[in-house]
Structure 1
Amino acid sequence: MLERLRKAENTSPGSDGITYKHWRAVDPECRVLHLIYKICLQNKRIPSVWKESKTILIPKGGDPTDIKNWRPIALYRTIYKIYTSCLVDRLRTWSTNEGVFCHAQKGFMPHDGVIEHNFALQTYLDNARRSQGEACVALLDFSNAFGSMPTAVISTTLRRAGIGDDMIEVLEDIMNGGSTCIATENGMTQPTEVNSGVRQGCPLSGFLFNAGLESVLRAINRRGQELQPSTQHHCLAYADDVTLIAENPENLQQLIDLTHEHSRDLALEINPRKCVTLHLSGRVPRGPRMTEFHIQETGIQMLEEFQSAKFLGRLIGFNILNENDRIDQINAKGRKILNSKLAPWQRIDTFWSFVLPATIFLMRSWQYNKTAYETLDRELRALIKKTLYLPQRAANEYLYGSSTGGACAIPIAAEDSDLFLVDTAFKLLTSPDEAIRALAREDCARVASGRFDQAPSMDLIPRLMTEEATPRRAFQHQTLWSKARSASLRLGLRWRWSLLNENPVIHSKNKELTWRDRKMIASFLRNSLRSRRDDALQQKPDQGKTMHLVSAERASSHFLKDGKYISFADWRFIHRGRLNLLPVNGARRAPNGDTRCRRCGQFDETLPHVINHCMRHSNAMQMRHNALIERIKATAQYLHWTTIFQNQIVPGTNQTSRPDLVLQKNGQAIFIDVTCPFENGSTAFTVARH
């Protein structure tokens, strides 16, 4: 419960207006919530007001006057969502351990479902293309699937799985008796009773929908196994996105008919106009065949050459005209944000939040080559430096180093594309799904076999990923494994095959990454690369000479995301000041220039001289000193310390010095003297203390 509340994002609240932030403030230990939830579980009931929601309609595309083209999202009270989140965590663990859901269903499950399904589908298409076989695929779309699922079907499925009568009663109370108000352009509607389906927006909805659809998926797999015993995947499901796979058109049509029949038994309706089919043949002339498939009497759209359809965020088809359109969109969004009128720290935070995450899925699903991301980095780098008020000659390591090292921690898209390729390849090879793991290892070994002209074996996988000089055959097309191999070589990684547990192992510097570390591959590699950039920046004799002090405290860079306690003038100064790029005479790049201070004319005009030594600025130094004292004094007062002396000789002592502050609390006293060392080395602190 604590973990759920800690990780909860501050999304839109329900009708009571209470957010997760409020709960963290008033009940940080979850003691009150624990008592409330304990009562709910004991009585197998929740308050009726928890079942009330506000529904927001999100457009899905198409005709806006057609209600089917809108996705309803229900906003519930946060107290209800924390409760159901805790329930669904337990239910997912139970369903995974007991094998309640078949391996075809990846939606709302603890798997890399989108990546695994994309890989599986692409592998079957590539196999047909390579082996002169056939692959027939149908991407099915259900109309209002979540809202149509009968709750009785969900209860029946879970009861058969052995969930227990007590939990069935808890879930049935949650599913029944709800109501919602729909937000329209004219305001909120009157409350409407919800008598069927599960509500998108409820943490339980995904699990409950999976339970209701399970009978359909198992029926598809049984029929597929009868038709094609040698194929591991006959159906790929991600919640209500169901994709059928067959080796020939006759088998695919049978699976479509079966799916339609069983779906109607669940009151689910397949929408033929949003369904897509692809019949790919590897025989000459290689490409798609215009084979028509039907749902009852209605034909389904067929993909031709150069056409594509989106499958879980990735395009599928034959000879897809895949230009860098999505990268261009991300580039345009980044440029708009970095050129906007937002405060500079808001621009950086928005760039972090909306631009960089948009590239991660594209990288993990190997949709673009590294050159596209290099172009993205190059075009946005200048605007990032402009936002930081840095000249273009500023060290790139300051942009891309770690936040603990005092840098801005902005990801490099080209570098991330490499580490996410390695991450995806490793996760597929070590997937907990046996079918995906076997398919990945078989496919990777086949690619390695083509490289080394040897029989496929697991020993070839680390050789493929590690050896630089390998023969390449002209007929081989680019695959995930060839891209991951190139990325691994660029990152300097070494692979080996562990005979102990029959899994790949990655060596990076002094760290060995095994299948137990599969969730931290990307983060470890990224942190390792950032650490190298931190070291490189600190080694720079000019721009890096202050960075080891900046990195000593995380608080030194607290302002980068939220801009707290910093002014616009501070922002314009601080980044250039850290890198010694302020326009002072002592830091000019031009040779033989006058480096003397333009105010006193006695010493070199370096930044430490201007800030701390030039007596022409003594009044400003005194004001800075006093401002710091007032800040400390205000903080001490907030923490219930009392200021008993300020810049005074302390009576009753034999000292003639005047501490800046003497604070007292509960019989304790603190003597504080404030000084502001602004130098390039840590010795300034030692000198200041003496």
Structure 2
Amino acid sequence: MLTTKDQVVREIALASLGEAIRGRIKQAPTSDEIARYLSGDCTGVFLGPSGTGTSVWSYARNAARRQRERLKVRWRWCEKKGEMAVECNGKGGAGKGGGLVIVPPRARSQIIYRLRVAGQNYYLDSLLSKKDQGKVYALASVDRASNHFLRNGSFTRFADWRFVHRARLDVLPLNGARRWGDQQDTRCRRCGYTNETLSHVLNNCGPHMVAITKRHDATVQRIVKNAKLPGEIILNKSAPEADAGCSLLRPDIVIRDERSKTVTIIDVAIPFENGLDAFRVAKEHKLQKYQPIADSLQEKGYKVYLKAFILGALGTWDRDNWAVIKHLPIGKRYAGLMMKLMVFDTIRWSRDIYVEHVSGQRQYS
């Protein structure tokens, strides 16, 4: 109403606002005092009870005061331009972008959008600032494949849907993840490890190693089933033709083609999404571990392709996997479906591991 093109409506609104402020401060308000009133200022002439009834202006004032912390919303009077503008948080969430944004009357159509974005940024920053949250989403937000099931739940059981969101926020009830009450015994209820966290349960707890291995093998089988490279496929064995010193190294997948003298070595890892470096560390470990095989085969005249295939324990997809899929090569159309199935398999196995951990009931045959 204060910025409408209709001059009559604008003048009536301004007069009504002036009367509401005059009833509180007992004098005609200045333009700066109008801005302070609408911003919810409670200092100076606005100190103390209002003493006036409610109106659309008092509602606007109270709304601005309530959202001051979240949206940084404030009314400003620009003396130079002679206009009233609205200021709010324009920061692009999680430390991106910068500062406040000012919405002048000529951009009044943008105000709802700007307030909505300011609210989203506030809650996003609040989530990511928690030390035990945001770790998974730092990786899950990198590639859309990690969240393909969010809108329609495709390839996902209801049980998995209920599990994965709480797991990614790290709010599942475990001895090492209590947020209130007395921190008594944080040991793992199955193996006695000192800290029962979700990372320990899904990746390191001894009684679940069979299920953890089956989760890993599900991804290996998907890759092997759809690989189109010519040659002999060797699973979980030492690479033929490699030096004797490499006999103890057993990569998940080796594809050897004697006609073209090429060897493809792919090893699958399913680390827990413990921050942005989790995938990088897992890849570096795999590449360093199997580099002696690659060096040995290259000395014997083979062309070697060595890569790590990474999936997070909570269904996070590493975008570098697309390069592996392209090399195999797997058709683009089916690659998208295979990606969804791999994400689903991983979440399903992780859910079963967790439920078996807390209930003691076997979740797989």
1:468 corresponds in structure 2 to 42
Change (3 A) 1:500 1:670: farther
- Length, aligned pairs only: 255
SS at match of 1:596: coil
Partner residue, 1:677: 271
User: Cα deviation per residue 1:117-175 (whole Å; 9 max; x = unaligned)?
Assistant: xxxxxxxxxxxxxxxxxxxxxxxxxxxxxxxxxxxxxxxxxxxxxxxxxxxxxxxxxxx
Query: In structure 1, what is the equivalent of residue 66 of structure 2?
Result: 490
In the other structure, the counterpart of 2:280 is 686
The residue aligned with 1:526 is: 116
- Tell me, in whole angstroms, the C-alpha distance in 1 between the residues paired with 2:233 and 2:155: 24
SS for the counterpart of 2:189 is coil
SS in 2 for 1:431: coil
Please say if 1:478 is aligned against 2:58.
no
Q: Does 1:439 align with 2:31?
A: no
Structure 2 CA distance for partners of 1:599 and 1:463, relative to 1, 3 Å: closer
Instruction: Spell out the pairing of 1:409-424 with structure 2 (5 A cutoff).
Output: none
> Does residue 1:606 correspond to 2:197, yes or no?
yes
1:580 aligns with 2:170: yes
2 CA distance for matches of 1:661 and 1:521? 58
Q: Which residues in structure 2 correspond to 1:15-414 (within 5 Å)?
A: none
Secondary structure of the residue that 1:485 maps to in structure 2? helix
Report the 3-state secondary structure (helix = DSSP H, G, I; strand = E; otherwise coil) of the residue aligned with 2:269: coil
Following the alignment from structure 2 to structure 1, what is the Cα–Cα distance between the partners of residues 234 and 84?
66
> Where does structure 2 lack aligned partners over 5 or more consecutive residues?
90-98, 256-262, 286-365
Residues 276-319 of structure 1 deviation map (CA, whole Å, 9 limit, x = unaligned): xxxxxxxxxxxxxxxxxxxxxxxxxxxxxxxxxxxxxxxxxxxx
Tell me the residue number matched to 2:334.
none
Amino acid at match of 2:177: A
Residue of structure 1 equivalent to 2:85: 505
Partner SS, residue 450 of structure 1? helix
**CA–CA separation in structure 2 for the residues paired with 1:442 and 1:592:** 60
Classify 1:563/1:661 alpha carbon distance in 2 versus 1 (closer, same or farther; 3 Å): farther
Q: Output the amino acid matched with 1:448.
A: I
Change (3 A) 1:515 1:653: farther
Paired amino acid for 1:468: C
Give the root-mean-square deviation of aligned CA atoms: 4.0
Offset of residue 594 of structure 1: 4.3
Helix, strand or coil: the match of 2:77?
Answer: strand
Helix, strand or coil at the partner of 1:559:
coil
Code of the aligned partner of 2:12? L
Q: Which amino acid aligns with 2:42?
A: E
The superposition leaves residues 551-578 of structure 1 with CA deviations (integer Å, 9 ceiling, x where unpaired) of 5555544434322232122123223323
Instruction: Work out the CA distance in 2 between the residues paired with 1:672 and 1:432.
Output: 66
The AA in structure 2 aligned to 1:487 is A
Deviation at 1:613, TM superposition (A): 1.3
Distance change (3 Å), C-alpha of 1:479 and 1:632: farther
Are positions 1:453 and 2:47 aligned together? no
SS of residue matched to 2:170: coil
User: Which stretches in structure 1 are left out of the alignment for 5+ residues?
Assistant: 1-427, 663-668
Structure 1 residues 653-662 or 616-625, which shifts more? 653-662
Aligned partner of 2:156 in structure 1 is: 566
Aligned residue for 1:507, secondary structure, equals strand
Change (3 A) 1:442 1:646: farther
Q: Does the CA-based 8 Å contact 2:2-2:10 persist in structure 1?
A: yes
Deviations 1:214-241 (A, max 9, x none): xxxxxxxxxxxxxxxxxxxxxxxxxxxx
Q: How far did 1:453 drift?
A: 3.3
- Secondary structure of 1:504's match? strand
- TM-score (normalizing by structure 1): 0.32
Q: Greater CA radius of gyration, 1 or 2?
A: 1
Which residue of 2 is the match for residue 642 of structure 1? 228
One-letter code of the match for 2:276? S
Q: Deviations over 1:381-429 (max 9, x none)?
A: xxxxxxxxxxxxxxxxxxxxxxxxxxxxxxxxxxxxxxxxxxxxxxx32
- Measured in 1, the distance between the counterparts of 2:76 and 2:228 equals 63
TM-score by length of 2: 0.56
Q: Deviations over 1:226-266 (max 9, x none)?
A: xxxxxxxxxxxxxxxxxxxxxxxxxxxxxxxxxxxxxxxxx
CA contact (8 A) 1:494 1:508 kept: yes
SS at match of 1:673: strand
By how many angstroms is 1:496 displaced?
Answer: 1.6
